[in-house]
Structure 1
């Protein structure tokens, strides 16, 4: 999927084989291929944070 950043630069993540619009919980850049945790869902946008 696409890189994910803050609200002004949303990216996309795959969840269950479907792509969702995503923003980073703390505004940091999340690179493609990173494993993330869903923090919240607002309509068709998920807020995520990387798992480390």
Structure 2
């Protein structure tokens, strides 16, 4: 999450959940507060974890 242009912001505003690698948590300070409050953040450690979380598999 480095730079949000207008299209990216529109895409995120439509999202209900956004999956982010846990390593990106430190970059959340660069995201506007109104944008970050409009979706649920789901952090993951690996791509496999992200897929399982997205599918609702534990």
- TM-score, normalised to structure 1, is 0.22
Structure number with the higher helix fraction is 2
Structure with the bigger RCO (C-alpha within 8 Å, sep 6+) is: 2
Larger Rg: 2
Structure number with the higher strand fraction is 1
